[in-house]
């Protein structure tokens, strides 16, 4: 049997390994120069003044919610189709989640979905967290307008979308948002092992993000409250001294992670283009299987950076359930996954909020299946996946 094709995986090359080895031979394993270089390069790449690295995108979402001042009594709107971390980050800071429905053919929250979620929340919403699902972007012009009219903070969950553009702006430039959160998990376009980052145009938010990722500590004398303890006899800052005006977390990324991230960042355009080319080839190869099997509908308001190759399958129509198809594909060396069970259907959230009506999210979930997509694939791999899928469906 041919080699196994997982639904996603990293592409690590010799120069990536050399970059990590150089850090391992150096003086800094964490909180050193590689972190700064990576943050500066990421900010420049996406066109934002500030990038704050962190240990994971989940940490980044948590930091963004903290920086935005979300807390008990506040509500944030989250699309129902996303990974649980988007909603969980709101709960970490004591906020309530209002789930918005999504387009059943894209998995994206539509402007009308957001408007209805805001109405259900009674208009008192602190933040909106749109999700760029599978690497395809939300309609940020409309989402931003509605969010601003509601007086809410806009935090992009861009974990799938590094390298994408919305309108003329790169995702992460925060042209229409307050913060953007990225993931560098191995299945993402850029891999750091684990890792994340938050970008912003706001220096106040950037300072809060950086402070909260490192226990909430400050070392700037101008920010100290106990000046008697903070100052030496000559009025200068005591070099060992720090204060904690409010607690944060240990969410720092290491120099090891950031060295890998910096090396990978130099290949981002190549990786994104490879994924786009493979997604286009999937589109062509899957055409004969329509309407029983078809890719996500492509929108006209973004240039995606495809993270996932999601297909929508009429399982009743093909006479085969999803689990059986996934097992059959796996037996032929092809991995697949489901992205995602609507978060509102998780037991925790059902106990908390009941079972909201989300017809778009439920229809999306009933049909979605993620097929292999990663930069190390070839068009021949795509053809193998589609041919195997067709064979299993027609058997």
- Tell me which residues are annotated as active site: 188
CA distance 112 to 376: 38
Strands (E), the chain: 50-54, 75-79, 96-100, 127-128, 153-157, 165-166, 169-170, 179-183, 196-200, 293-295, 302-303, 309-313, 368-371
Q: Is 135 left (phi over 0), alpha (psi -120 to 50) or beta?
A: left
Which residues have C-beta within 8 Å of that of residue 122, sequence separation ≥ 6?
Answer: none
User: CA 155, 158, 162, 166 torsion: positive or negative?
Assistant: negative
The answer for residues whose C-beta is within 8 angstroms of residue 229's C-beta and 6 or more apart is 238, 241
3-state secondary structure at position 369 = strand
Distance CA 101, CA 130 (A): 11
Q: Which residues pair with 311 in a beta bridge?
A: 295, 369
Q: With both helix axes pointing from N to C terminus, report the angle between 268-286 and 379-394 in degrees, rounded to the nearest 10.
A: 30
Backbone angles phi, psi at 80, to 5 degrees: -70, -30
> Would you state the structure tokens that stand for residue 121, as one six-digit string?
């929340």
Residue 138 in contact with residue 166, Cβ under 8 Å?
yes
Determine phi and psi for 19, rounding to 5 degrees.
-65, -40
Q: Which residues on neighbouring strands pair with residue 303, listed in sequence order?
A: 165
In 3D space, the residue among 325, 319, 309 whose CA is nearest the CA of residue 392 turns out to be: 325
């Amino acid at each position: 049997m041919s080699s196994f094709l997982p639904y996603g995986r990293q592409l690590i090359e010799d120069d990536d390994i050399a970059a990590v080895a150089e850090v391992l031979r150096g003086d800094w394993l964490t909180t050193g120069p590689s972190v700064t270089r990576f943050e500066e390069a990421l900010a420049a790449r996406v066109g934002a003044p500030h990038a704050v690295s962190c240990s994971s995108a989940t940490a980044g979402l948590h930091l963004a919610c903290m920086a935005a001042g979300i807390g008990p009594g506040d509500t944030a709107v989250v699309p129902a189709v996303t990974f649980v971390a988007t909603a969980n980050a709101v709960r970490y800071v004591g906020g309530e989640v209002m789930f918005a429905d999504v387009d059943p053919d894209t998995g994206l929250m539509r402007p009308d979905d957001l408007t209805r979620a805001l109405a259900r929340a009674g208009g008192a919403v602190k933040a909106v967290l749109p999700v760029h699902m599978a690497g395809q972007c939300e309609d940020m012009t409309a989402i931003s307008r509605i969010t601003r009219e509601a007086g809410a903070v806009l935090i992009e969950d861009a974990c799938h979308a590094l390298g994408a553009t919305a309108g003329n702006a790169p995702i992460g430039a925060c042209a229409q948002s307050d913060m953007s959160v990225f993931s560098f998990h191995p299945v993402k376009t850029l891999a750091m092992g684990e890792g994340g980052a938050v970008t912003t145009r706001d220096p106040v938010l950037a300072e809060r993000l950086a402070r909260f990722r490192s226990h909430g500590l400050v070392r700037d004398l101008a920010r100290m409250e106990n000046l008697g303890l903070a100052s030496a006899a000559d009025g200068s800052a005591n070099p060992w001294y720090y204060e904690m005006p409010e607690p944060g977390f240990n969410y720092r990324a290491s120099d090891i992670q950031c060295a890998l991230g910096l090396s990978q960042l130099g290949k981002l355009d190549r990786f994104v283009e490879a994924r786009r080319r493979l997604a286009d080839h999937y589109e062509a190869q899957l055409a004969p299987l329509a309407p029983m099997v078809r890719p996500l509908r492509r929108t006209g308001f973004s240039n995606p950076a495809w993270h996932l190759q999601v297909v929508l399958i009429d399982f009743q129509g093909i006479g085969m359930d999803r689990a059986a198809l996934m097992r059959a594909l796996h037996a032929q060396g092809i991995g697949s996954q489901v992205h995602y069970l609507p978060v509102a259907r998780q037991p925790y959230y059902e106990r908390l909020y009941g079972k909201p009506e989300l017809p778009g999210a439920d229809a999306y979930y009933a049909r979605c299946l993620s097929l292999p997509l990663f930069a190390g694939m070839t068009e021949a791999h795509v053809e193998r996946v589609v041919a195997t899928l067709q064979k299993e469906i027609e058997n």
